[in-house]
Amino acid sequence: MKAIRQIGSLAFVLGLFVSVFAGIPWRVVVSDDPTVPLWLQIAIFCLLGGILVVLGTLACEQKRFRSPASDDAAAEGDTGGSILLLNSDTVPSRDVTDVLGLVQGHTVFAVWIGKDLSAIVRLLLGGELTEYTEMMGAARSTATARMTAQAAELGADAIINVRYMTTSVVGTAAELLVYGTAVKLHKPVSVGV
């Protein structure tokens, strides 16, 4: 899918440059001839076709990677139930027996143009920008799941000192990074009754 999207992007850029840097000067020089030459027609079709290919592959990727079960787990902040996440450097009533190292997860999310336009309208009228709130919530869940999976591979019982960082990448796209220290914990002693 990625290769097809790159071909679509290349066709778009090629069509755009030919249309702008050759088509416009051609039109200025030959303004009395109404027929459009074949090379300019091909460039315009590449431009439009490239956009359609990119949008089509993105839509297919979103459908393929989005499943209702994973969305429900991400929305509830499911960490698999076995790894404890804390933003402190200690675990109450538990001792750290082994520090496994830094674990991290990150993702870059963006909203599609329809949600972006509705957020702009809401920005003018006031109120919560729910489109971006949902986007950041999904990004946080995805990054946390990636960090937790990395800790699980190390055999961690907990991740301490969990921190979240966000940055704006371009336009309305945001990068979210979560990191912490994966640790093994001393098993609690159970007292018999």
Give the start-to-end residue ranges of the domains of the chain: 2-65, 77-185
- Homologous superfamily (CATH) for 77-185: Hypothetical protein apc22750. Chain B (3.30.110.70)
Mind listing the pLDDT tens digit for each residue in 113-169? 667 767 777 777 777 888 888 889 999 999 999 999 999 999 999 999 999 999 988
pLDDT 10s digits, 13-71: 888 888 888 888 887 777 677 788 888 889 989 888 888 887 787 777 666 655 444 44
pTM of the entire predicted model: 0.61
CA distance 6 to 23: 24
Q: What is the pLDDT of residue 50?
A: 85
